[in-house]
A and B are shown apart, each in its own frame.
Chain A
Amino acid sequence: MKSMVIGGILLVVVLMLGTYVIAGDAFQTDDYINMLTMVGAFAIIAITVATALKYINQIKNDTAGGELADENWDGIGEYKNAIPSGWGIIFIGSIIWMFWYFFFGYPTNQFSQVGQYNEEVLGYNEKFKEQFANPNEDTLKAMGESVFLVQCAPCHGVDAMGINGKAQDLTKRISKEAVAHAITNGSKNFTSEYPAGMPAGLLSDPKAIDEVATYVAGGLKGTAPASFASCTACHGANGEGMPKVAPNLKAYSDELVATVLTNGKKGHIGVMPSFKGRLNETQEKALATYIRSIKGE
């Protein structure tokens, strides 16, 4: 017993000395963290050695005692030991805590993926509003181009020319076929902006239709053919359209682009889906600005 204590003290001293030789300069700085770390290291050495000695001593000298339980497993028995009271209190306490946590304390309203998404969108929209409160022409054009490349280019092509007739050629306002198609079949595409729509068969003479189509597709330059009079009642004498009645035939006005995006379109080429709710007002305006800017090659 005595030799063990002496041995233990010797071991502690040797370990501490070793530590001091290796890392003793920690005491020579002003940094108290280093100092605390060293003190901690010494404490660990002392506690470890003392604990180890205690158990070694117990293994050497302890004798069995107490009452055996009934079962034994291949000759190995078990003493009837009362559980440590501290452990028992924590065990029962955690069962009670479990009921509280399960029924009341569980943080059901803490994190939500959708809540995080909503916050992200709100934050973005606010920032967007602030940044693009009064956008100038160049900003709109740049924004329009980026929207166009994501949302419109898959059908209209990156050059906006409609990929060889698979969609509307946006570098021109309107094609001859489209005008002829609208005159023959009417047009009821844009109900949100022009509720009355355009009746079918305003002109029936193929020659008159051809004349008007050539004139409108040519950008309404030169003298209007006589039969263009059928159009002016709604589209205006200069073809620039009237609010709530008919769209502009000369250029892609903001109003026209927003209307097509909202309603989609079914024309002589095919169907364009509605983009309602997918773009905000500024983005629609930006798209119109961009489309006007790419007129012609």
Chain B
Amino acid sequence: MFHWLEQRPFFFAVALFLTVAFAGFVEIIPDFAKASQPTVGTKPYSVLELAGRQVYIKDSCNACHSQLVRPFKSETDRYGMYSLSGEYAYDRPFLWGSKRTGPDLMRVGNYRTTDWHENHMMAPSEVVPGSIMPAYPHQFTNEADIATAYANANTQKEVFGTPYDQADMPKLGSWDEANAQALDDAKAIAKDMKNQEVKDAVAGGKIPEVVALIAYLNSLK
């Protein structure tokens, strides 16, 4: 066998690759499989939150904000408990980010509220003096894409087995149900908001992007 391989560079390379790859698999796969299990209490995003997540990605929030609290005292004092890999189980894709121009947002839902985000997205420097974050007034008029968010959630459910519609998990249901549910969620958010145009839009059955984004940010805990 080895004599045979020794004389055939191609198959020798294949055999070498398989041997090294096997070593990699035994070392990486078991720990990886364990760490990627969802943490107890981690739930998939609701449709409205997913729509907000798309806004977050679309407006490139992740270019300046990370979502990963490292286990250092200075970080946990400011942001809360350090992140566990299982907490990202339903993040597709994850939004760890690689640079903190702004603060980390992993647990922003714990210490910021709907009205704060509303003020902040409209004019960040009015809330945080010296902030270099740009304003996002278009989020107050653009409509959130609930249909895509539903498709996103449904794909995750069908393809990746994300546990929607299970006990103690968010309900997804049919498109009509999900759409109605998203609107209900949006109404709950809009109740805490002050912007009359946003309130009117939600009352009229439309969901501005900022409402979806706030739903998403509030869900980050």
Contact = CB atoms under 8 A, between A and B. Distances in A.
B115 A270 contact: yes
Given A71-B7, A158-B129, A166-B127, A121 B115 contact: no
A154 B128 contact: yes
Contacts, number: 58
Of the four ranges (under 10, 10 to 19, 20 to 34, 35 or more), the interface on chain B belongs to: 20 to 34
Interface stretch (B89-97, B105-113, B137-145, B167-175): B105-113
B114 A124 contact: no
A287 to B, nearest CB: 14
Interface residues of A, number: 26
Contacts of A275: 111
B78 interface: yes
A178 to B, nearest CB: 15
Contacts of B71: 113-114, 116-117
B7 A154 contact: no
Interface in A99-123: 113-114, 116-117, 120-121
Given A120-B73, A166-B127, A278-B80, A269 B115 contact: yes
A275 B72 CA distance: 19
B181 interface: no
Interface string A132-165: 0000000000000000001100110110000110
B34 interface: no
A61 to B, nearest CB: 32
A117 B115 CA distance: 34
Contact of A271 (B3, B80, B114): B114
Interface of A: 71, 73, 113-114, 116-117, 120-121, 124, 150-151, 154-155, 157-158, 163-164, 166-167, 269-273, 275, 278
The 10 A-B pairs of least Cβ separation, nearest first, read A270-B115, A117-B71, A271-B113, A273-B111, A120-B73, A166-B119, A121-B73, A124-B73, A155-B116, A273-B113
Given A121-B73, A150-B78, 5 more contacts: A114-B71, A116-B71, A121-B76, A166-B127, A275-B111
26 contacts: A71-B6, A71-B7, A113-B71, A114-B82, A117-B72, A117-B73, A117-B82, A121-B76, A124-B73, A154-B127, A155-B127, A157-B129, A163-B126, A163-B127, A166-B115, A269-B115, A270-B113, A270-B114, A270-B116, A271-B114, A271-B192, A272-B113, A273-B110, A275-B111, A278-B80, A278-B111
Interface of B: 3, 6-7, 71-73, 76-78, 80, 82, 110-116, 119, 126-129, 192, 194
